[in-house]
Amino acid sequence: MTGTDLEVEVRLPSGRGNPVWKAAPTVLLRFRSLFAALAVGAFLVSVVATAYPLVVSASENELLASAIGNATVTPYGMGVAYRSNGVGFDQAFPGSGELIWQEREDVFTQEAARSAELGPTERAILGDVVTVTDRGGEPPASGPVEGRLFAGTSALAHVRVLSGADGPGVWLPDYVATPLRAEPGDHVILHSDSSEVRVAVDGVYASLYTRPRQGYWRLWNDQIYPCPEITCSAPPQFILSDLDRMQPLSEALGFSRATFAWQAPAVTDPPLTLTQASRLAAFSDGLKRRMSVGAPLFRLFRCCGRTFHRGGSSDVTFTGNADLVVQQVEQRIAAVQGPMVVLLVAGLAIALAVVATAGVFVVLGRRVEMGVLTIRGWGPLAFGSRAALETVLPALIGGGAGFAVALAVVTWAGPAASASSQARAAALAAAIAGTIISIVAVGVVSGVAFVSRHEHRHRIARVIVALPWELAAFAAAWALARSLSEGGVVESGGIQRPQPAVFLFPLALALGVGILTARLARFALRRVRSRGSGVTSSWLAVRRLRSSPGLTSLFLVAGILTLSVSGAALATVASLRTTVEAKAKVFVGSQVQVQVGRDAEVVSGYGFPLTMVTRFREAGSIDDLETTFDLLLVDPETFASAAYWNDAFSDDPLPTLLDRLSTPREDGAVPVVVANGGGLAPDSITVGQHRVPVSPVGTASTFPGTSSDTRPLLVMDRNALETAFRGVPDPLATPRAITEIWIDGPSREVVESIDELGVFPLLVITAEEVQDVPFIDAAVQTFLVLQVLGFAAVALLVVVAVVYLNARQRGRAVATTLSDRMGMPRSTMRTASVIELGALLLVAAVIGTAAGLASASVVVPSLDPLPSIPPEPLIVWPLAASFVTFLCLAAAALAGGSSADRGARRSSVAEVMRVAE
Amino acid sequence: MSRNDEVAVRFEGVVRTYRTPTGEVRALRDVSAELPRRGISAVVGPSGSGKSSLLRLVAGLDRPTEGSIVVKGIEVGRASNRRGRAVRRSTVGYVFQRPSDNLLAHLTVAEHLRLASRAAEVSDDELVATARALGIVHRLDHRPAELSGGEQQRVAVAQALASGASVVVADEPTAELDSEAAEGVLGRIADLAERDITFVLATHDPSVMSIAGHELALEHGVVAGSDEPRASAEPVEWTALRWPGIGDGDGPWMPAALGGAALRLRGISRSYGDGDESVRAVDRVDLDAAPGEVVALVGRSGSGKTTLLNIAAGWEVPDEGEVERPGGQDPTWSDVAVVPQHLGLMDELSVRENIEYPVRLAGESAARRDLVDDLLEQLGLSSLQRRSPRETSLGEQQRIAVARAVVLGPALIVADEPTAHQDAGSGAAVLRTLGDASLAGSCCVVATHDADVLGAVDRTVRMSDGRFVDG
C-alpha cells in the first residue's frame, strides 16, 4: 500500500464559493502579455476620453485669453463700464443729499463686487475742452491748440509715455505739446471761456488717436477718434490730470460739470475660463437690465441712451463686451469641436479595437480554460462576466495611467491655457467611464468570441460573416467622396467647419482596401505551391501565414487601416499647411504687408528685407481679348529679397523673371510676366485711355500679389511703366492702385518695428492673419492627432503581433526543439518569423500608404482654405516620412521576428516533456 | 419501465460533416444507435473513425449536420444554446481526451472538484471519497503543473463524477494511464455505473471494453457492420517499407552512425525540487540497448519513464551518471529521433509535410519520397496527407509523429506512449512501423503501458519510483 492510499482523514481545503470567480481578479497576472495589452488598451481609451474635455476646455480658455489679450478688448473690454455726461461735481441725488456721482460710484462698486469675475472699480472723469498756450499765453504759430481735461484711475499706465515723470502737474499729448514745444518741467496755460489756469507739465505722451484702439479707452473712443477716416483731423486730445486735482482744476476753469465713468475690468489672475466669462456676460447683461427703465437702479443710473432730467439731459452708456467675446470664442471653438468629436470617435474606435482584440485573446488565447468551463456549462454571459472581472485590474492601471498622462500632456504640451476645474472633473468622469467601457467591452467581446467559437450559430450569422464587406466600405467611401466633391466644408450659423466626410472618407477607403487586400492575400496564399525540396525561410513563412488565415486577415486589415489613416493624415496635414501658407503669402506678398501712401519713402537701414510694390486691381484690359487684368508693379532689385516665392509657381526661377522684367526691349514693348493667365500672351494692354505694347517674358501659375483667381495678373517693372506712361496722365492716380511694402521676417517683430520704416502705415496685414482660417486649423489639428493616433496604433499592432508570435512560438517549443534536432538552422527559423511579420507589415505599409495618399488626394482639394486666391490646393506627398515609416516597420519586423523566435527557445522542453508524464 | 426509460442516448441518422480549409471531412455518416441507461457503453473503433465527434454530440458541444441525438429524453442535437449549457451543467459530464485539457492551470485539485460539484449537491465527504477512489487524495492542494499526466486524467474523471452528471462522456479516459491507475478509475466508474449513472467511453483499451456492458463500434463514421459504404476506408497494406538504398529482402540495414550499443546509460539519476520537496525521478539506472532492438519501458505514471526517455533523447541532463547515445551530446534526427507525448507537430504544415520535414532538412526528399508514401499508407494516413494535423484525431497525429520519427532511419528512436491513442489495428501499424525501423537497424526505446506493445518488443524493462525492478 502506498502512502497515497492510506485511510487517513482528509478534508477539502476550506472555503466555499466558485474558485474560478475567486481567482478571476488576479488571474491575468499569469498572462503578462495579455495583462499588458489590456492595460494598454484601457490606457488608450482613458487617454482619448480624458484628453477630449481637457483639450476642448484648454482650447476654449486659450482662445478666450487670446481674445481678451487683443488690445481692443483687454480685461476692461471684458468688464462692465458706465458713463454719463453732464454730471455736476456738486450735484446731489434728489432725496438723499448725497452727491450723485458719489452715490453712483458706491452703488456701481457694490454691484460690480457681486461678480467674482470683476476686479476693483475704477473711476474716470472727462472735463471740457480748453485752449492751451505756452506760459507766455501765446498760441503756437500753427494756430490755437485745444485739449481736454481727463483724469482716470491708472490712465497713465495705458498711454505711451514719450517723456516725463509723475508730478503735481498734467501730462500733455504730443498733439498739444509738440506745437507748443512744451517739455516736462515747463508750464502751460489752460484757457476756458471764463478763466485760465497755469499748470506744470509733468510729461508728454503719444496722442491716443495715433494709437490703436485699446480696451481701457473704449468708453472714450468717440472722443478720441471722432471719425473713422484716417484723414480726419484729430479731436482735442486728453490732458491727463490726477483724479484728486480734477475737480479743483475744472472748477478753477469755471467748469461745474463733467462726464463721469466707472468701469470694473475683468480679473486677470487667474485668467478667466470660458465658464467664468459666460457668467460674467450674464452678470453684465443683468446689471444693464437693472439699470434700465423701470428697473431698481434706473433712478440712479438712468441707463441708457439720451435721458432728460431735472438737471438737463445726459448721454448715458453702459458697456460690457463679455458676451461678444464669449460669442467669438464659441464660434472658433465650434469649428474645433466638430473635428474633435470625430477625433474622439476615431480615437475611441482605435483604442477600443485594441481592447477588443485583447478581449478576444482573453478567451481564445486560453483554449484549455475555455474548454473546461464550456463542459461545466458556462455560457457567453458567464465568460463575458469573468473576462470583465479579470480586466478590472489592468483596466484600472491603464485607465489611471491614461488619465494622468492625458492630464500631464495637455497641461505641459497642450494649449497654453489650462483647463477649467469643471473640465478636469469631466475628464476624471470620462476616464472612469472609459475604464468601465474598457471592462465592459472586454466582457462583451469575450462573450461574443465564446459564442463564435463554441455556440451554435444560426446560418444567417455565417452568411453575415461571409458577406463581401469591402463592397460596403467602398460604397461608403464613394458616397463620402461624392459629398467631398461638393466641398469639404459646411457652414451653419456663420461658422465654417470641416464636414465629417473629411475624416470618414479615409477610414472607409482604408477599411475597404484592407478587407479586399486580406481577401486577396488569403486567395494568393492558398495557391502558393512549393518548389524545391528543402526547407527555406520563405517556405515556412508562407505556410505559417496560410495556416492562420483569420489572424493574417485581421492583421492586414488593422495594419492597412492604421497605416492608411496615418498616411492620409500625414499627406493632408502637409498639403493643407503648404497650401494655406502659399495662398496667404501670395495674397500678402510676403510675411507682412504694409499699405502706405503713394509717395511714401522708406528710410534706409531698416532691419528686415523689404520691397515696395504697387498693386493695381482691375488696372485695365488686354487688347483684343477685353479681359480685365490686375497689375503689379515691382522693383526688380529688391523684389526677390522680400517677396514669397515657390518654385512650383513658374518654370523659370524668380531671378530670371525679374531680370527679364528689368531688361528694356528694343521694340519698346514693356516686358511683363503673366500670372494666372491660363496661356494668355498679350501684345498690348490698355490702362486708362492709354494703350501700351507689352511683351510677355515669362508665365507663372500664380505670383505674389495675386488677389483674384479669375483675373490674370501682369507683373511689370515699376520703372518700365513710368517710361511707358511718360507724358500721359498718371494711371496710378486712382484708389484702386495701392502702394504696399512687403517685408520678410517674423511677423511679430516686423509689426513692432513698423514705426522704424519712417512711413505712415495705412493698413498692416500679416500672412499669419490670412492663414488663420479656423476650419483649416481645425482640420490640420484633427489630422495631426489622427496621425499620432494612427502611428501609435501601428506601433501597438506591431507589439500585439510580436506578443502573439511570441506566445505562438512559445507554445511550439517542442516543435521548435524537434526542428533543431532535425537540422533546421536557427537562422532559417528566425528568418521565417521575420519574413512572416515583415510580409504582413510590408503589404500593410505599401497598400496602406497608397490608400492614404489616395485619400489625401480626394480630401485636400475639398478643403480650399482661400478659394479666391490661387493656387489650387497643393498636394504634398510626405516621401521622407513614408520612407522613415517603412524603415521603422522593417526594423520592427526584424526585432519582432527575432524576438518571437527567441520566445520558442525560452521554454524548457524537458519541463514540457516531464509534465506530459 | 418503458423501453424509452431504458435508453440513455439515442442516435437517429446522425451525420456530422466538418468544413475545413482543405475540404470537407465527413466524420459521421448516418449513425443510428441506442446506448442503455444503465452501465457502461464503450464506443470503439479505429482512430479517426468518429468516436470523438460522436461524444461531442452527446455532450452538446457540437451539433449534428443531420439527424437527432436524444440524451435522457432531451434532444441535444437541436437544443438551444441555453438548453445545451444546462445539459452540460447537470446531465452530461465530459472528459477530454488529453488530460491537461481538462484542468485550469491556476486551480488546485480541490478547487477543480469544488468547481465541478457546484451544480450538484455533493458533500465534501463524497468529493474526498471520489478523490480517494481515484488515488489523488494526496494531491488535493496541488495544481495541474505539479501532477503527472495520469494524475491529471484521474482528476478529470473525478471532476466528471463530482458534477453529479447522470451521463458521463469520456474520450479515452485510460489512454494515458498506467494499468494500476486505469484499474482504479475503471473500478470507480463500474461502481458508479451501478448507481444509475450512464458512462459513454470512447476507447481502444481492452480493460475498458471488458467492463462495458454495451459496445458501439464505429468505423469510418458509420456503425460497424452497417450497410453504409465506407467511402474513405483505407485497407492497410502490410508491404515492406521501401528504405532508400535497400532492396527487398536484403535484410537488416545498419545506419551508418551506429557502432556497438545504440544507447548506453550508466548510473543515471535525476531529481527535481529542493529540500523536502525534492523528488528523485530516476535513481541510479543502467540500460543498454542494441541496434535493431526494441526495448519497452513500463511502469505507473510518475515512475520515471518519461524522465529517462528525456535523458536518453538528450532533452535533459542527468544529475549523475553517463549517457552514450548516437551523435553524442548534440545528436541529429538521424542519430536520435523521438515520438514525444507532446507530439510537436507543426500545425502550419500538412500531414505529409510534417513527415517530409526532416527529410527535406536532410536533403533527401527525392531519395525518400517512396518511403514517405509507404509510411503514409502503412499508418493509414494517405487520405489525410493534405490536411493540417489540427484536422486529424489525436491517434492520427500520433501516427504522423511516428512516421516522422522513423523516416530518416535513425540510430535510436525514443517513443513515449506511441500507441496510447490507437485502436488495435492502428496500434499494430505503429508497432509494425517501429518494428520495420528496427529491422532496418534502428534501436527503439518505447515507454508504454499497452499490453499489445509488450508482446511486440524484444525486451521489457519495468520501472517503479525511478528504478528498474524485476519482473
pLDDT for A633: 93
Decide: A288 and A303 in contact? Cβ < 8 Å: yes
Among the partner-chain residues B21, B103, B366, the one whose CB lies closest to the CB of A533 is B366
What is the percent of chain B where pLDDT is above 70?
Answer: 89
CB A815 within 8 A of CB A907: no
Which residues of chain B make contact with A20, given a CB cutoff of 8 A? 104, 107, 115
How far is residue B298's CA from residue B460's CA, in Å, rounded to a whole number?
Answer: 7
**Lowest-pLDDT range, A227-236, A368-377, A677-686?**
A227-236
Q: Which of A274-288, A486-500, A903-917 has the lowest mean pLDDT?
A: A903-917
Q: Which residues of B touch A552 (CB under 8 A)?
A: none
- Residue A19 has its nearest CB partner, among B114, B358, B366, at B114
Tell me the C-alpha distance between A172 and A182, whole Å. Answer: 8
Half-sphere exposure of A477 (CA within 13 A, CB side): 22
* pLDDT level of residue B353 (50, 70, 90 thresholds): very high
Identity of the residue in A30, A454, A913 whose CB atom sits nearest the CB atom of B306: A913
Q: And the C-alpha cell for B324?
A: 552514450
Inter-chain contact B21–A549, Cβ cutoff 8 Å?
yes
Interface touch B61/A368, C-beta < 8 Å? no
DSSP secondary structure letters along A558-613: HHHHHHHHHHHHHHHHHHHHHHHHHHHHHHHSSSEEEEE-TT--PPTT-SS-EEEE
Question: Who wins on pLDDT, B289 or B100?
Answer: B289
Distance (Å, whole) CA A210 – CA B247: 115
Q: Check CB contact under 8 Å for B360 and A543.
A: no
Q: Which of residues 752-791 of A touch B (CB under 8 A)?
A: none
The answer to whether the beta carbons of residues B168 and B93 sit under 8 Å apart is: yes
The whole-angstrom separation of Cα A645 and Cα A647 is 6
Give me the residue label for grid cell 476624471.
Answer: A428
Query: Angle CA(B89)–CA(B92)–CA(B93) in degrees, nearest 5?
Result: 85
Contact A216, A76 (CB under 8 A): yes
What per-residue string of b and e applies to A335-358 under the rule 16 or more CB within 10 Å gives b?
A: bbbbbbebbbebbbbbbbbbbbbb
Confidence at residue A641, expressed as pLDDT on a 0 to 100 scale: 93
| Position A227 confidence tier, pLDDT thresholds 50, 70, 90 | low
CB nearest to A912's CB, from B127, B342, B362: B342
* Strand (E) or helix (H) holding A316: strand A312-320
Q: How far is B245 from chain A (nearest CA, A)?
A: 19
Of B113, B138, B344, the CB nearest to A3: B138
pLDDT of residue A548: 82
Instruction: Establish if B106 touches chain A: CB-CB under 8 angstroms.
Output: yes
Q: pLDDT by residue (tens digit) across A503-530? A: 889 989 999 999 999 999 988 888 877 6
pLDDT at A214: 83
Contact A543 B353 (CB under 8 A): yes
What is the band of A436 on the pLDDT scale with cuts at 50, 70, 90? very high
Distance CA A249, CA A244 (A): 9
Interface of B with A in 11-40 (CB under 8 A): 21
Give the mean model confidence (pLDDT) for residues B448-462.
81
Measure the CA–CA gap between B142 and A139, rounded to whole angstroms.
112
Q: Please, which pLDDT band fits residue A5 given cuts at 50, 70 and 90?
A: very low
Q: CA of B244 to nearest chain A CA: how many angstroms apart?
A: 17
pLDDT (0 to 100) of residue B249? 41
**CA–CA dist A513, A519 (Å, integer):** 10
The predicted-structure confidence for A91-140, as pLDDT tens digits, reads as follows 887 777 788 889 899 999 999 999 999 999 999 999 999 999 987 777 77
Tell me what the mean pLDDT of segment A446-463 comes to: 71
Confidence tier at B233 by pLDDT (50, 70, 90): very low
Mean local confidence (pLDDT), B42-61 = 87
Q: What is the bridge-based pairing of β-strands A237-241 and A145-152?
A: parallel
Q: Please state, in angstroms and rounded to a whole number, the distance separating the CA atoms of residues A339 and A778.
A: 6
pLDDT score for A514: 94
The answer on pLDDT for B260 being more than 80 is no
- The answer for B 310-349 residues in CB contact with A (under 8 A) is 310, 315-316, 331-333, 336-338, 340-349
Distance from CA of A371 to the nearest CA of B (A): 7
Which helix (H) or strand (E) segment holds residue A761: the answer is none
Kindly identify which residue of chain B lies nearest to residue A547, measuring between CA atoms: B348
Neighbouring C-beta atoms of residue B440, cutoff 10 Å: 22
Residue in B61, B110, B358 closest to A374 by CB: B61
Band (A846; pLDDT cuts 50, 70, 90): very high
What is the tens place of the pLDDT at every residue in B204-228?
Answer: 788 888 888 888 998 888 887 544 4
Q: How far does chain B reach from its first CA to its final CA, in angstroms?
A: 51
- Contact with chain B for residue A909, Cβ under 8 A: yes
Average the pLDDT over each of A29-38, A334-343, A488-497, B345-354 and give the range with the smallest value: A334-343
In this predicted structure, what is the pLDDT of residue A717? 93
The nearest CA of chain A is from the CA of B17 a distance in Å of 14
Q: Is the pLDDT of residue B305 over 70?
A: yes
Angle among Cα A671, A676, A680 to the nearest 5 degrees reads 60
Please, where are the H alpha helices in A468-530?
A: 469-485, 501-527
Distance from CA of A833 to the nearest CA of B (A): 13
Contact A254, A302 (CB under 8 A): no
Chain B interface test: which of A809, A819, A822 (most B C-beta within 10 Å): A822
pLDDT category, B81, cuts 50, 70, 90?
confident
Identify from B353, B360, B406 which residue to disrupt to test chain A contact, counting A C-beta atoms within 10 A and taking the largest count.
B360
Count of Cβ atoms closer than 10 Å to residue A273 Cβ: 23
By the 10 Å C-beta count (0-12 exposed, 13-18 middle, 19+ buried), A480 is classed as buried
Does residue A905 register a pLDDT over 90?
A: no
The answer on pLDDT for B185 being more than 60 is: yes
Contact yes or no for A915 and B149 at CB 8 A: yes
For A302: left if phi > 0, alpha if psi spans -120 to 50, otherwise beta; the answer is left
Which one has a higher pLDDT value, B386 or B183?
Answer: B386
Task: Tell which phi-psi region holds residue A668, choosing left (phi > 0), alpha (psi between -120 and 50) or beta.
Answer: left
Sheet holding B320-324, edge to edge: B279-289, B263-272, B320-324
What value does the mean pLDDT of chain A take?
A: 84
Tens digits of per-residue pLDDT, A764-779?
Answer: 888 888 877 767 777 7
Report yes or no for ipTM above 0.90.
no
Nearest beta carbon to residue A913 from set B132, B310, B336: B310
Beta strand A187-191 with A196-205: parallel, antiparallel or unpaired? antiparallel
Residues 526-585 of A with CB under 8 A from B: 526, 533-535, 540, 543-544, 546-549
Distance from CA of A839 to the nearest CA of B (A): 16
* A873-899 confidence digits (pLDDT tens): 888 888 888 898 889 889 988 888 888
- Taking CB atoms and an 8 Å limit, are A13 and B106 in contact across chains? no
Instruction: Identify the band that residue B1 occupies on the pLDDT scale cut at 50, 70 and 90.
Output: very low
Q: Kindly report, residue by residue over A689-748, the tens digit of the pLDDT.
A: 788 899 999 999 889 988 777 789 999 998 888 888 888 878 887 777 888 999 999 988
For the residues of B410-470, what is the DSSP string, one character each?
Answer: -SEEEEESTTTT--HHHHHHHHHHHHHHHHTT-EEEEE---HHHHTTSSEEEEEETTEEE-
A827 in reach of chain B (CB within 8 A)? no
**Shortest CA distance from A548: residue in chain B:** B348
Residue A910: which of B115, B310, B341 has the nearest Cβ? B310
Query: Is B119 at the interface with chain A, CB within 8 A?
Result: yes
pLDDT, position A399: 92
Q: Does B379 touch chain A (CB under 8 A)?
A: no
Band (pLDDT 50/70/90 cuts) for residue A395 is very high
Minimal C-alpha gap between B190 and chain A (Å) = 19
Is the Cβ–Cβ distance between B364 and B408 less than 8 Å?
yes
User: Which pLDDT score, from 0 to 100, does residue A113 have?
Assistant: 93
Query: Partners of A132 in the beta sheet?
Result: A145, A190
Note the pLDDT tens digit of each residue in A856-878.
Answer: 999 998 888 777 777 788 888 88
* Cβ pair B332:A817 closer than 8 A: no
Average pLDDT of chain B?
82
Q: Helix axis angle, A774-811 relative to A826-862, nearest 10°?
A: 160
Sort A884 into a burial class: Cβ within 10 Å, 0-12 / 13-18 / 19+.
exposed
**Does B360 sit within 8 Å of A534, measured CB to CB?**
yes
| A729 preceded by a cis bond (ω within 30 of 0) | no
